[in-house]
Structure 1
């Protein structure tokens, strides 16, 4: 007998075989097609599951799972403390975690124009560890690296600026499929485009994943318990995902109705979370089912370069969150207050989500205060587009638009091997909708077709 303990927020999926027949779990694949991640413990196969998080799993001598017992359950037990006390507790805990994770090693910090990595920058700037920071922008997109560089300079970090160029995916897709095992689509992990450069750096990654979920409201103010299933469906289903999954469900002749099936599963999982506060319950749902099965999947790309650390994934941070009043977590209040208190210079740098405003004046990001920036920004984008330089906003635009990208895409999704799994007419239906009707609406469907094609090619026998 031996025991495996899974973290509250696992950084990788741990698979286990079951006594179920070795058959494709087509219902699970339909959910994957709609949302971009597998739900709960689902995998491509009925006889293979993923160990649930925050649990102790007992295996027998033959490595057969005997029992799984949760050792932690998400809860909402807010302490009767002031915001200032909560801020002090966060400051102490966060800086302790960052220090312990980094130890005496050099640190590699991916920087964005947001708050999670900026919060890490504050903590790391107090330490003696050498820090190499970097950021990337899309070629033809918003220059996110400009904000990141300002943060790096103010923090005293080395900084590297990368540009993510069109079509990088195709020369890396086989390696990426091996790393994430096709449990996530391929258009999101931009770091794959610079993996060779990342390998040249030295140290451990300090990654800011999941900070934006833990330190913000889970549900809009006034959301009721009855509204949660519908709210969760809206959050997890990607544009065009319901249509694509429904088409697969019908093609495979599955019983019932896909939307009803998914709605029932979401409702059942929500019922298992013993939290009355709707906002805290949504955060718990995301942390149980979204973080391990979507966010964590592409951490494998970073791990291919160097060891990873994640301050927001730490068990102590999850436990802390359960004790903080929702009002203090909402609207990023704790992170904003921490940055302003500990490093005012970083707080004065533009917050990308609220540009051109910063942490001191972002409340002004509404009409009429933001109209001059919005008008100017739109004019710049329009002029660039007319000059033949379209403004790139989304990862998939770099992978799917243009003749060379299109040839690669068609090679992957229109071939006899894949079309024996998903029919050519169905593939053509969504590919043509992407090309001729609405690229934004159908980009997710095309991305999932590519993912399923790569899985079918490389991993179906696994």
Structure 2
């Protein structure tokens, strides 16, 4: 019988058949609408399950799952080592992983204004690998490409700059659904806007996904089990997601109530993780249940253009993390120290999350030091709004705002295809709340309803 072994953090979803009726798993879909991803092994269907992360799975010849057991357990086993020793080990391991993953391939490096891709840029510059870097910015938003261009120039990389235009999603919506199979909403993968340009490049993607989770604090020291539950709920449930999930739960007349069901599910998943340290435990929870079912889903968009490599996903990196003291991982200390040590010029470039500060000055990003920048930035945004050029900060603003976007959105939401799966009154309620109320709180529900509309047409007609 076939055996399927999944990595510690899978970059692809793999599925098996389950002994259950071929029926929609409406409880699972409710969680999907609340969080934007399916939880644990859930899918749209009761008789189809995702294989768990870090597991060995025995399937029969028909594809039914016979047995699943973990081959790796996340743990917290900090060694008594100095920070300098941890930094030395990280440097060696990180650069080895990148070198082995890429071999002699040309490299395509998406650059953001953060730390994960900047850390990769340091290693790639040391390897003297041919690199084409690129960044994209929202039309009318912060110029993330400005930081990326400085990083690329410092490292000697070729650089391309892309602008994410309003409404790019609609002509590519069904193509994106074919790529991610509607296991994620459609407003997050910005790379879809420039998919043809990416295909014209040469090389293997070096992607920085999950570095910000592995190399940062998971939870505050002393957090209780109840605290971890509340943090998990807050982290994974999107704005407006709980309201939409509750509305669907009630419309579908499911037993019990949604919020209790979700909390029970998360408690059970947290209880499976045998780690006492709250920060390490929350990191393990995210890596087991969030990374494979949300972060990994849209990696397929990159893969539709070129092969991908993921240094932070590497099993060896996960195993290393389990042995590093939390105080060294907290607040991105290792990545910051690596960049400063190996490429001080990169460390002097603005850190987007702490702009206008860099890796040497970011600790000054507190009041009153940062008030002049914050006030100036706010005045610039307000001036742009008064001039009829709204400051774009989030991808959904490019997809849902404006007459042309609204027309496309209505076509999908109110097509006959979606009924009676989701009633027109429920759709109208959330659509009208977005149009007349709090756009920020209702953008996620609209995005999930759009996802379900496309899924219903493409995979469930």
- TM-score, normalising length: structure 1: 0.99
Q: What is the rounded CA distance, in whole Å, between the counterparts of 2:355 and 2:370 in structure 1?
A: 9
Q: What is the rounded CA distance, in whole Å, between the counterparts of 2:188 and 2:421 in structure 1?
A: 24
User: In 2, are the aligned partners of 1:413 and 1:419 still within 8 Å (CA)?
Assistant: no
Which residue does 1:339 correspond to in 2? 339
Q: 1:4: how far off?
A: 1.1
User: In 2, are the aligned partners of 1:58 and 1:66 still within 8 Å (CA)?
Assistant: yes
Q: What is the rounded CA distance, in whole Å, between the counterparts of 2:395 and 2:2 in structure 1?
A: 43
Which residue does 1:64 correspond to in 2? 64
Q: What is the rounded CA distance, in whole Å, between the counterparts of 1:247 and 1:418 in structure 2?
A: 16
Secondary structure of residue in 2 paired with 1:248 = helix
Q: Deviations over 1:20-44 (max 9, x none)?
A: 0000000000000100000000000
Q: 1:129: how far off?
A: 1.8
For residues 231-270 of structure 1, the aligned pairs below 5 Å read: 231-270=231-270
User: In 2, are the aligned partners of 1:218 and 1:279 still within 8 Å (CA)?
Assistant: yes
User: In 1, are the aligned partners of 2:215 and 2:334 still within 8 Å (CA)?
Assistant: yes
Q: What is the rounded CA distance, in whole Å, between the counterparts of 2:369 and 2:419 in structure 1?
A: 53
* Unmatched tracts of structure 1, length 5 or more: none
Matched, 1:399 2:410: no
**Comparing 215-224 and 160-169, the one that deviates more:** 215-224
For residues 14-413 of structure 1, the aligned pairs below 5 Å read: 14-413=14-413
User: In 1, are the aligned partners of 2:180 and 2:298 still within 8 Å (CA)?
Assistant: yes
Q: 1:2: how far off?
A: 2.0
Which residue does 1:437 correspond to in 2? 437
Q: 1:128: how far off?
A: 2.8
User: In 1, are the aligned partners of 2:164 and 2:193 still within 8 Å (CA)?
Assistant: yes
Q: 1:403: how far off?
A: 0.1
Secondary structure of residue in 2 paired with 1:250 = helix
User: In 2, are the aligned partners of 1:134 and 1:161 still within 8 Å (CA)?
Assistant: yes
Which residue does 2:454 correspond to in 1? 454
User: In 1, are the aligned partners of 2:2 and 2:59 still within 8 Å (CA)?
Assistant: yes
Q: CA RMSD in A?
A: 0.8
User: In 1, are the aligned partners of 2:122 and 2:339 still within 8 Å (CA)?
Assistant: yes
Q: 1:225: how far off?
A: 2.4
- TM-score, normalising length: structure 2: 0.99
Q: What is the rounded CA distance, in whole Å, between the counterparts of 1:60 and 1:439 in structure 2?
A: 48
